[in-house]
Amino acid sequence: MSVKILAVGDIVAPRGLDYLSKHLKKLIKTTGAAFTVVNGENASQLGITPDQAEDIFAAGADVITLGNHSFNRREIFDYLDDSAYILRPANFAPQCPGRGMGVYDASFGQVKVINLIGRCNMDYGPDNPFLMVDKLLKDEPCTVTLVDFHAETSSEKLAMGYMLDGRVSAVWGTHTHVQTSDAGVLPNGTGYISDLGMTGPAVSVLGIKPEQSIAMFRGEPKSRFTAADGPCKLECCVFEIDPKTGLCLSAEAMRIEG
């Protein structure tokens, strides 16, 4: 008997969090998801607070993953150390707060979740995620293993997907906030999508007011980014997995709007 895993794209700003809170539980019921992972690194627009993390869990998430804005809000530091259910990228420096991998109990057995960050076009140099994931897969082996790869370029994400094909249940990309059309199962049985998309303002540039992004690219003086107004959306992917083999049977990208 197969199980469904729901992976939800980056929450952007409090408006995205509000939208998640209104729709996630219904989406979990509709899809029949037995385990839900939500990327929450932009819940504060840049970063996440403990209260926002609690709101994401209350909305229905089993695990929260993060990314390059993991540490933008310093009040999250102790929370990252104290809670095993929120992950920051495992290839950050080891002295950083929190952890990058967890093994969790689910209705179908145990599931391992790994959070990684890419290095292409990022503003800093984390450890090599391709070498780090090899190490993490050897620690506490688990039949069902999920990987959130928070990365900028599709080439780096695809390379990770193919390297892990047949070794993990699903690999999904986050960070670029635009849902890609390549959801599917790789040749050796790993579910994959280059980017889940985002949860937040639909008429926007990655969740931000379009005019602000346009001004930045025109070279005008920078202003503090503000979340766009108007309707919101929730973008995600549902992976159907055989819990006995850990292999993916299907992957379907989804979007809720309005």
CB atoms within 10 A of CB 257: 10
Torsion of the alpha carbons at 138, 173, 158 and 189, rounded to the nearest 10: 60
- Among 23, 69, 175, 177, the active-site one is 69
Contact 206, 175 (CB under 8 A): no
227 vs 211: CA distance, rounded Å: 11
Contact 238, 33 (CB under 8 A): yes
The residue type at 230: G
207 vs 13: CA distance, rounded Å: 8
250 vs 40: CA distance, rounded Å: 25
Question: In degrees rounded to 5, what are phi and psi of residue 231?
Answer: -65, 155
Contact 248, 184 (CB under 8 A): no
Task: At 190, list the tokens.
Answer: 């790993």
Bridge-based pairing of strands 248-257 and 232-241 is antiparallel
Task: At 201, list the tokens.
Answer: 């303002």
Query: Is 69 a known active-site residue?
Result: yes
Q: What are the residue numbers of the active site?
A: 69
